[in-house]
Structure 1
Amino acid sequence: MTSGVSARLLEGKIEGRVLTWDDDEYDDARAVWNAMVDRRPRMIVRCATPDDVATAIRYARDGDLEIGVRCGGHGVLGAAVPEDGLMIDLTPMGGVRVDPRRRRAWVEGGALLGALDQATQPHGLATTAGNVSHTGVGGLTLGGGMGWLARQFGLSCDNVASFEVVTAEGNMVRASAAENAELYWGLRGGGGNFGVVTEFEFQLHPMVGEALVVDLWFALDEAPAVLRGWRDLNAVAPRAATFTAWVGDMEGRPMASVGYVWIGDVEEGRRLLPPLRALGKPVMERVHETSYVELQRMDDSVEGHTFRRYWKGHYVRSLPDEAIEAFLLRGTPDGHGPYLPAASLQAYGGAIADVPDEDTAFSHRDTLFEFVSATRWSDPTEDELRIGAARRYAGSLDRFASGAYVNVLTDEGQAGVRRAYPPEKLARLTALKDTWDPQNVFHLNHNIPPTGRPG
């Protein structure tokens, strides 16, 4: 039976659509955020309902097809797109329903962060929702979910009251503190290892005020002293502030910046400016007031879907002077060179650290900063050079690392998974995998294999 005939039979069993190689929409549907990913699924099932998801899982298992699950398509490995497999495309399931009285939002599994922000903001409510509005709610939340509100309200996963999940057997279950509590624990940080989440119930928080974005840029030779002062200011920063730093090339020369994003009373947020400006004489600065929704869109054009991409990341519990120097040198002797990636530091702490580490699968709540080295380019002949530079840069900070964020892992395989979860949590996650997916149906992810199966 040809894939086209088979697809039409499957399409007759679901409310959504099934795309194959000869459909006009096929190429758009298989394209993801990283342009290096160019795989061709045998079928793309554009699911309209949870029942469609269940039917697609059963169909794929009956046909021995690998399953990939797409929401926003932001995973740098593009694991959502299985070569000659079946891609479950959740993007048609993008609705958000808000109950402002109960401060709850029910978010379908294919929704993007922008849809969540736009639905909640008219009610003066919000929850932690990443930094880029076209990221998928599902992938972000299942891995943890850092965002500009996390120091005030916790990670995205900390704000999920319940999950609706389609299991590897094609059954629909609910997970919450009161129902399937161990699965609820694992879904908050364990990634897409245990099923396909078709609905998230989020706790919302009153959010009064606007956003203030502050960045001060410095020449590279002045940056070490500035970064040391910025680090010390972060130690006493209010929870409304998320301190940020960056190093990269501007107009052909290496530069560094320090700053913060403030959400709340903007005038109160401006009180952090004088001590920051006192750290040195910036080459230029940006002090920008904006709405929360616009803040969430601020990096959308930068994070467009047309570039080849690679990144590496670390968590760090401290930032000694030697780590600052390594951050600024970018894996080189002097901070100069071709094809060097940019990198950022983003502060954790606050409400993230309030949650006991054992309460969720997400780990490393004692993180001080997250480091991410990211590179993007267009010319395929640069692939090896760009990836090699990013690896060298991240490697230069290995000795300062305390772990990794599962949503920033790339091609580290099981070594990366072991960095994301300490041994006792990994054992618990493996037991959970044994219960909910013993055949490792959902393995196109940062995989936690069941007992006896290779990752």
Structure 2
Amino acid sequence: MTTTAMNPGRLDGRLVLPGEAGYDEARTVWNAMVDRRPRMVVRCASVGDVVAAVRTARELDLELGVRCGGHSALGLAVPDDGLMVDLRPMGGVRVDPVRRRAWVQGGALLGALDREAQRYGLATTAGNVSHTGVGGLTLGGGMGWLARQYGLACDNVASFTMVTADGDVVHASPTENPDLFWGLRGGGGNFGIVTEFEFRLHPVGTRALVAEYTFPLDRALPAFRHWRDLNAEAPRQATFTASLGGDGQVVLGFVWVGDPAEARKLLPAMRGLGRTVATRVHEPSYVELQRQDDTTGRHALRRYSKGHYLRRLPDEAIEAFLLRGSTGSGEGLPNAGLQAYGGAISDVPDDETAFSHRGTVFEFGCGTGWTDPAEDAARKASARRCAAALAPFASGVYVNALSDDGAEGVRRAYSPDKLARLTTLKTAYDPHNVFHLNHNIRPAR
């Protein structure tokens, strides 16, 4: 094996080969089902390292995978016998509180962005789990607790710096390569490796409120209907959520970012949901809110999930959600959840970004985590049944929620017009489909 396009001694980071210290850590991702062995891992510490890695992969005709941070549910970042670009050493965040801007390197996690911005009471939309990668989240759209107030993560990007399939460094903004700027806001990692994001920040303060009302499954339907109707009138600071877990209990509520005193004005209406088995209202800091699902979303579990976008939530959809694809006891069923969209998400004109389905009312997701490989088939089947039960009500899917859906999933994630435009952009920036280990948009032939 040679690495003629890359001199390891000239890297700012490190080239890691099989058998060397750090190799197994570098190839281990969030989903424990992923167990692939790259021929080499380039732990990039600079844009120059990324350029060298891309050119090496091209010269040696190696598959190229990109790890930009946290999860990689399908493990697409880890190419068997290929070259893995590990951006995690490039995890820096720089904040200008006067201009309300954050410059975030491509390997940063959401928690780093949250911590630096919150030093000044600022934030931008940044997911729900702090060990998620900024890059993957943002390039697919980027839902989070601030989205109803300020739009998706991709709506808050002012500029990108990207390394192309030829190893060139380009910038994208409303005035520089505007077509690429359009495509990077929702089109995923199809066009290159983003090494830096410039985000707009917002003065959100440091406080939040979470309200949760728990109902037994046999009393959940009327409460669920009322919760749905309240969501239609909810202030933008509130993101309504619903979840159903392994204990068979339904949790309905909302997350509020901003003054908790204002959030508490919603509580009398929420008490109208009915008699609960448990009620919890608490006031985390914003940073604590961003970490509250870190344990549920922890590493080292085998993972599988499915999802849909919903433009409406009729009673029949609620009933299907509660059944989760089963008429049995509920044992072994996946966790299921709903998160409200609307507000600033739907304010953005549909043709302004590659992200589609801005008319979504709720995002539905179901998923399961386990440790025993013998359970793989049953766990996957249960998630598929759950998703199939909601499919009649679906209007599309979040590209970041795709699993093993293949080309059909990509077609569900984008409107036909947007997919055609993305294909043209892919053909211009990556005609040989070097960046294909993703939810792939193929170039025109």
TM-score normalised by structure 1 residue count = 0.96
Structure 2: unaligned runs, 5 residues or longer: none
- How far has the Cα of 1:8 moved from its partner? 11
Judging changes above 3 Å, is the alpha-carbon distance between structure 1 residues 121 and 209 closer, same or farther for their aligned structure 2 residues?
closer
> Which residues of structure 1 form unaligned runs of 5+?
none
Corresponding residue number in structure 1 for 2:324: 330
CA gap 1:170/1:305 in 2 versus in 1, 3 angstroms:
same
**Percent of aligned pairs with the same residue?**
65
Selected match of 2:431 from 426, 431, 438:
438
In 1, the alpha carbon distance for the partners of 2:5 and 2:399 equals: 37
Deviation digits for residues 365-421 of structure 1 (CA, Å, limit 9, x no counterpart) = 000000000100010000000000000110111110000000000000000000000
Equivalent residue in structure 1 for 2:402, among 393, 409, 419? 409
Work out the CA distance in 1 between the residues paired with 2:6 and 2:139: 32
Give the 3-state SS of the residue equivalent to 2:32 in structure 1: coil
C-alpha RMSD of matched pairs (Å) = 1.2
| Aligned positions of 1:140-289 closer than 5 A | 140-208=137-205, 210-250=207-247, 254-289=248-283
Equivalent AA in structure 1 for residue 419 of structure 2: L
Q: Give the corresponding residue for 1:421.
A: 414
* Counterpart check, 1:39 vs 2:36: yes
Could you tell me which residue of structure 2 aligns to residue 128 of structure 1? 125
Conserved in 2, the CA contact under 8 Å of 1:32 and 1:78?
Answer: yes
Residue in structure 1 matching 2:113, options 116, 125, 138: 116
How far 1:40 moved relative to its partner? 0.5
CA distance in 2, matches of 1:75, 1:337: 29
Matched, 1:379 2:372: yes
Equivalence for 1:49:
46
Q: CA deviation at 1:208?
A: 2.5
Could you tell me which amino acid in structure 2 is paired with residue 272 of structure 1? L
Q: 2:441 aligns with which of 441, 445, 448?
A: 448
Q: Secondary structure at the match of 2:10?
A: coil
Give the C-alpha shift of residue 9 in structure 1.
5.9
What do the CA deviations read for 1:190-219 (whole angstroms, capped 9, x no partner)?
A: 000000000000001111351101111100
2:149 touches 2:343 (CA, 8 Å); kept in 1?
yes
Q: Give the 3-state SS of the residue equivalent to 1:363 in structure 2.
A: coil
2:207 is matched by which residue type in structure 1?
A: E
1:268-347 equivalences under 5 Å are 268-334=262-328, 336-347=329-340
Q: 1:82-107 CA distances to partner (integer Å, 9 max, x unpaired)?
A: 01100000000000111111111100
Deviations 1:23-63 (A, max 9, x none): 12111111111000000101110001011101100000000
Alpha-carbon offset, residue 7 of structure 1 = 9.0
What displacement does 1:339 show?
1.9
Could you tell me whether the CA contact under 8 Å between 2:6 and 2:52 is conserved in 1? Answer: no
- Paired residue secondary structure (2:236): coil
Contact in 1 for aligned 2:6/2:56 (Cα 8 Å): no
For each residue in 1:145-203, what CA deviation from the matched residue of structure 2 results, as whole angstroms up to 9, or x when unmatched? 00000000100000000000000000000000000000000000000000000000000
Tell me, yes or no, if the aligned pair for 1:143 and 1:191 is still in contact at 8 Å: yes
Q: CA deviation at 1:288?
A: 1.1
Contact 1:110 1:138 (C-alpha < 8 Å) held by counterparts: yes
Q: In structure 2, what is the Cα distance between the partners aligned to 1:209 and 1:80?
A: 34
For 2:296 and 2:206, the matched residues in 1 are separated by: 26
Give aligned pairs, total. 445
- Find the residue that maps to 2:218 and give its secondary structure: coil
Cα separation, 2, equivalents of 1:450 and 1:52: 26
Paired amino acid for 2:366: S
1:20 & 1:75 partners in 2: Cα distance? 21
Q: Which amino acid aligns with 1:427?
A: A
TM norm structure 2: 0.98
**Which amino acid letter does the alignment assign opposite residue 140 of structure 2?**
G
